Amino acid sequence: MPPRTTPTERQRRLGAELRKLRMKARLSGDDVAALIDADRSRVSHIEAGRVDVPRNGMYKLLRAYGCEDGPFFDALMAMAHDRGKGWWDEYGDVLARRALDLAELESRAESIRVHEPSAIPGMLQTADYARAVIASIDGDHPHLERWVQFRLDRQQVLNDLSGYHAVIHESALRIRVGTPAIMRKQLLRLVEVARLAHVTVQIFPFERGPYSPHGRSFSLFCGPTPQLDTLYREHPSSAEFIGDGDRVAEYDKLFEKLASLALAPIDPAAAPEAQGACDSLSLIQHLLYELR
């Protein structure tokens, strides 16, 4: 089978991890080629995510690289033998590869942390809000409704996560998306989702002033081993998946700082009289009042 021309993010990440392990073990491409009975070009394709590694070959590589038994070893083996098929495949004809890669990454995550400065996170959007956001970009697109459904289908992962934590800037709640009724329903949705025990929603208010990271949208995806945690950043016309441990750690600290500066999380279970004077729920209730 010829090398694939467009590997998925999972395939690229696996190849990158194998290359890092090989370099750490100080083995050359020729050394590895001899180990798996292949030529040097195949090793290059493996490390670029363009070809797969048979189970026995993957086991040999990890052993030769000194990767010890444990969560990291198991996770790499699982990534290598994951068929990469999922519900997102049915959208392959209308969505870019990065959107499908994001859905696959979400499906593999155990916990997700999201910072959004100007929009409600996709995982928490109502259908009407999502439709209005997407329509503002390309309202005449023939596949608009499938794009909306894809965003809603992504939300099913909320049921499988051990934790979901969103820090949303107040501007995202005040920017009018669609009609007042759409915004009101969306704000109520935030409170509704926050009722889930593993979901944390915080609002970063204007009054806390400027803090450099709050101008950028980013997500942190965590799994069974921190070596494979991923930072996802969106740009106006592109997106990037970052697996570098130092960058992930940097954004982990940024998120913790944002969370510490944001208002206390929404706690819908608390009685109204127990709510703090300045917490996330109080701010949302104030905005709901303004939308009457």
Residue 230 sits at φ, ψ, to 5 deg, of -130, 135
For 98-126, the pLDDT digits (tens) are 999 999 999 999 999 999 999 999 999 99
Let me know whether 112 and 232 are in one domain. yes
For 13-28, how does the pLDDT look when each residue is reduced to its tens digit (9 = 90+)?
999 999 999 999 999 9
CA geometry: angle at 164 spanning 135 and 151, to 5°? 25
Does 100 lie in the same domain as 48?
no
Mean pLDDT value of segment 127-143: 86
* Average per-residue pLDDT for the chain: 90
> Which domain CATH number covers 99?
3.30.870.10
Q: How far apart are the first and last CA of the chain?
A: 61
Same domain, 112 and 209: yes
Residue 158: pLDDT above 90?
yes
Select from 30, 52, 81 the last residue of a domain. 81
Global pTM reads 0.91
Binning pLDDT at 50, 70 and 90, where does residue 84 land? confident
Q: How many domains does the chain divide into?
A: 2
Looking at the structure, tell me whether residues 149 and 221 fall in a common domain: yes
Same domain as 219, residue 76: no
* Residue 69: CATH number of its domain: 1.10.260.40
CA-based max dimension of the chain: 71
Domain span at 138 = 89-290
Please tell me whether residues 112 and 13 are part of one structural domain. no
> Crossing angle, helix 71-81 and helix 9-24, to 10 degrees?
130
Shared domain for 108 and 182, answered yes or no, is yes
For the record, the structure tokens of 26 come out as 């100080």
Is 1 part of a structural domain of the chain? no
How confident is residue 81, by pLDDT bands cut at 50, 70 and 90? confident
* pLDDT of residue 256 exceeding 90: yes
Model pLDDT, residue 85: 85
| Boundary (domain end) residue, out of 58, 81, 104 | 81
Rounded Cα gap, residues 117 and 20, in angstroms: 34
Please tell me whether residues 223 and 284 are part of one structural domain: yes
pLDDT for position 276: 55
Boundary (domain end) residue, out of 35, 51, 81: 81
Same domain, 65 and 95: no
Residues 106 and 69 in one domain: no
163-169 and 199-204: which strand pairing? parallel
Residues 201-248 pLDDT 10s? 999 999 887 766 556 899 999 998 999 999 999 877 778 999 999 999
What is the structure's pLDDT at 168? 96
Output the pLDDT for position 3: 81
